[in-house]
Copies of this chain bind each other. A is one copy, B any other.
Amino acid sequence: MTRILRLAAAQMGPNQRADAREAILARMIALLEDAAARGARLVVFPELAFTTFFPRWLLEGAELDAYYEEAMPNPRVQPLFDRARALGVGFYVGYAERTPEGQRFNSAITTAPDGTILAKYRKVHLPGSVEPRAGDRFQQLEKRYFEYGDLGFPAFRGAAEWGAPVMGMLVCNDRRWPEAWRVYALQGVELMVMGYNSAAYDPNGGSTENEEIRSFHSTLAAQSNAYMNATWAVSVAKAGNEDGSGLIGGSVIVDPNGVIVAQARTLGDEVLVADIDLDLCRQGKEKMFNFAAHRRPEHYRRIVEQVGAEPP
């Protein structure tokens, strides 16, 4: 069985609040077709790929409800699923989920080439706030619009035709949290897939971190966590000026040494393709990061026994 998988990162440019769902889906299908034409069998889309990043707005009622998917797939996304199955391509996609019980999560799924859903993930590390910040034009209301993910970090097997890699999903801010990567690595993960919407600057005019340092942080997190967990990683942006607020690009495909093998050059719709050799993970997993030989969990207990920092 070959262990080389050709996959794609499908970076998206911005989805404006006024964009029709049909127009967004058409762009996603075009990215999928481009990737498939170049031989990719797995395509990674961003977080909240079907909509604008609506947590930047204080919304309620029907206007807010319209951003959530009540089932996956559903008629509003079916054309993407149909086209992917016809092309024999699986995909990761992030979306806002509302359950029949009314729970709301910032979720992602990965589908197989035959259209079945292999696994679902719900974002654990929600940034932002519950209450809107007075006086700010742009909010970050993820903690208001979503519950904390309740599925943990469950690794799953990718499709047999991909080489049956052990896979893990993250969403956006999760990628900066080494705990999340490590829990997947403790399940032997070989391929991490994740999408993001990350601010390029403070949209309210503050002067904290600029676009350059924010892009550096995004890339650094992907590279280092891939290296320290001996896994491939595909980290994909929704980028550009969305609703007047800037998002970084910098989508990357990173190998288990932490080396970038493909990187986006634009802030728009852009497909990156790479052949990834899943057995490249073995060097790290068997030597430097042979967990069974080298980890000392008796000294890690603070990681689970406290939440915040407690100075000496």
User: A155 near B220 (CB under 8 angstroms)?
Assistant: no
Which residues on B sit within 8 Å (CB–CB) of A285?
309
Q: Scan A126-166; emit 1 where CB is below 8 A from any B CB, else 0.
A: 11000000000000000000001100111111000000001
Q: Is A104 an interface residue (CB 8 A)?
A: no
Whole-angstrom distance between the Cβ of A125 and the nearest chain B Cβ = 6
Selecting from A4-12, A45-53, A224-232, the interface stretch reads A224-232
User: A187 near B300 (CB under 8 angstroms)?
Assistant: no
- Compute how far the CA of A152 lies from the CA of B299 in the bound complex, rounded to whole angstroms: 5
Q: A292's closest neighbor in chain B, by CB?
A: B308
Which residues of A does B touch, CB under 8 Å? 124-127, 148-149, 152-157, 166, 173, 176-183, 185-188, 208-209, 213, 216-217, 220-221, 223-225, 227-228, 257-259, 283, 285, 287-297, 299-312
- Tallying the copies of this chain within the complex gives 2
User: A306 near B186 (CB under 8 angstroms)?
Assistant: yes
User: Assuming the A-B contacts A213-B257, A304-B303, are A187 and B295 also in contact, with contact meaning beta carbons closer than 8 angstroms in the complex?
Assistant: no
Contact of A227 among B124, B152, B220, B310 (CB under 8 A): B220
Contact of A217 among B155, B186, B257 (CB under 8 A): B257
User: A125 near B257 (CB under 8 angstroms)?
Assistant: no
Contact of A303 among B186, B208, B209 (CB under 8 A): B186
Which residues on B sit within 8 Å (CB–CB) of A157?
312
Whole-angstrom distance between the Cβ of A295 and the nearest chain B Cβ = 5
